[in-house]
């Protein structure tokens, strides 16, 4: 028996392991990077010590940097997984977690919360996140209901465009009504920032990712069929509309949780799956594993850059991912790897 296929898969597993190692190294690099004068050796000692309130550095590493790094991991992986799934179910290489308007809905939710105080939870930053989550999930449910009878890709994308325009208009209205201070808060949220990362938020985000990842791994072959085309998948006996609805719900949940937590971090959901696909192809058994790893790598790298670009300040990570994402997307387009 020829071993060509087995060899190809071995190479793919090798790439996945290699990227996982890069991701782990970046986790440590992100933990060791910051404006305090903590040396790498001190940081390693504090990591080995475990969380305690012994020193200022313990607090910085365990209470400030660790939640941010874990947030990078959870959000990067979630957005990349959601992006890969969206590209497959919408059969559109330019699809991303934000294609169907979830990000716009969350953005409006955040702006509404800043201006009106909705949903009136006393803690300000939770208030904004909860409002964003309500609108993101509400919009997902609305699109899901609208597409229940006709879940073809064109209808879904068009509904997504309508939703995006609707919430963009509503958000503009909120910005118009906002005071200068509120406007600044809305803009900061929209940039996508890790500065409000918390342990609880990171745990929710990672738990959500793990749950959806396990659920998605059960549909890898069906998704691979769908990546080979709607008609092909149907003729292979796949219930494409059911599959599309299931995966849409999964990716919506991932996106809603991520966006409502850290704001709209662009391009990861678009670029990470493409990058992963260029290494492991469209076999979703490998793509669903490598995409989240690539997403986490990109966000961790962006986080490190955001910390060292302007010492003493953390530039919103969304700005970095947008800058890197645009250049990378252009590179992919010019190399015709889409």
Contact residues toward another protein (CB under 8 A) are 1-2, 4-6, 8, 217, 220-222, 224-225, 227-229, 231-232, 234-238, 277, 281-283, 285
- How many Å apart are CA 285 and CA 223, to the nearest integer? 9
CB of 212 to another protein, least distance (A): 18
Shortest Å, Cβ 53 to another protein:
45
Nearer to another protein, 226 or 296 (CB): 226
Tell the smallest beta-carbon distance from residue 8 to another protein (Å): 6
70 vs 81 by CB, closer to another protein: 81
Determine how many CB atoms are found less than 10 A away from the CB of residue 332. Answer: 17
For 131, other C-beta atoms within 10 Å of its C-beta total 25
Q: Minimum Å distance from CB 25 to another protein?
A: 28
Nearest to 156 by CA among 271, 235, 241, 282: 241
| Integer Cα distance of 255 and 96 in angstroms | 10
Closer CB to another protein, residue 179 or residue 235?
Answer: 235
Long-range contacts of 186-189 (CB under 8 A, 24+ apart): 186/110, 186/111, 186/114, 186/115, 188/263, 188/316, 189/107, 189/110, 189/111, 189/114, 189/128, 189/263
- What is each CA distance from 131 to 81, 97, 123, 176, 257, in whole angstroms? 24, 19, 12, 19, 11
Nearer to another protein by Cβ, of 218 and 311: the residue is 218
For residues 63 and 338, which CB has a smaller minimum distance to another protein in the complex? 338
Nearer to another protein, 14 or 221 (CB): 221
Give the nearest distance from C-beta 221 to another protein in angstroms: 5
Measuring CA to CA, which residue among 263, 216, 207 is closest to residue 244? 216
Q: Would you give the end-to-end CA distance of the chain in angstroms?
A: 33
Give the shortest CB-252-to-another protein separation in angstroms.
25
Tell me the closest approach of the beta carbon of residue 13 to another protein, in angstroms. Answer: 12
Q: By C-beta, is 9 or 198 nearer to another protein?
A: 9
Q: How far apart are CA 256 and CA 291, in angstroms?
A: 18
């Amino acid at each position: 028996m020829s071993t060509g296929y087995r060899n190809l898969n071995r190479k793919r597993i090798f790439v996945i392991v290699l990227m996982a190692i890069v991701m782990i190294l970046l986790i440590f690099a992100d933990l060791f990077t910051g404006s305090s004068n903590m040396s790498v050796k001190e940081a390693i000692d504090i990591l080995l010590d475990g969380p305690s309130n012994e020193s200022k550095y313990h607090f910085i590493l365990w209470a400030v940097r660790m939640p941010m790094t874990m947030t990078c991991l959870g959000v990067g992986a979630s957005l990349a997984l959601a992006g890969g799934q969206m590209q497959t179910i919408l059969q559109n290489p330019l699809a991303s977690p934000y294609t169907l308007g979830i990000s716009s809905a969350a953005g409006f939710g955040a702006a509404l919360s800043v201006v009106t105080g909705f949903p009136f939870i006393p803690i300000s930053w939770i208030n904004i996140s909860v409002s964003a989550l309500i609108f993101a999930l509400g919009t997902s449910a609305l699109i899901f209901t609208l597409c229940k009878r006709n879940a073809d890709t064109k209808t879904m994308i068009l509904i997504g465009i309508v939703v995006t325009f609707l919430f963009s208009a509503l958000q503009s209205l909120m910005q118009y009504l906002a005071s200068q201070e509120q406007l600044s808060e809305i803009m900061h949220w929209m940039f996508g920032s890790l500065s409000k990362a918390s342990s609880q938020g990171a745990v929710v985000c990672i738990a959500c990712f793990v749950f959806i990842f396990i659920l998605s791994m059960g549909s890898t072959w069906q998704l691979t069929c769908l990546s080979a085309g709607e008609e092909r998948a149907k003729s292979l006996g796949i219930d494409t509309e059911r599959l599309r609805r299931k995966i849409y719900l999964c990716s919506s949940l991932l996106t809603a949780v991520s966006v409502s937590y850290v704001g709209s971090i662009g391009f990861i959901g678009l670029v990470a799956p493409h990058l992963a696909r260029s290494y492991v192809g469209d076999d979703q058994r490998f793509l669903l594993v490598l995409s989240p790893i690539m997403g986490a790598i990109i966000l961790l790298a962006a986080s490190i850059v955001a910390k060292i670009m302007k010492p003493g300040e953390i530039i919103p990570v969304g700005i970095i991912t947008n800058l890197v994402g645009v250049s990378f997307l252009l590179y992919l387009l010019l190399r015709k790897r889409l």
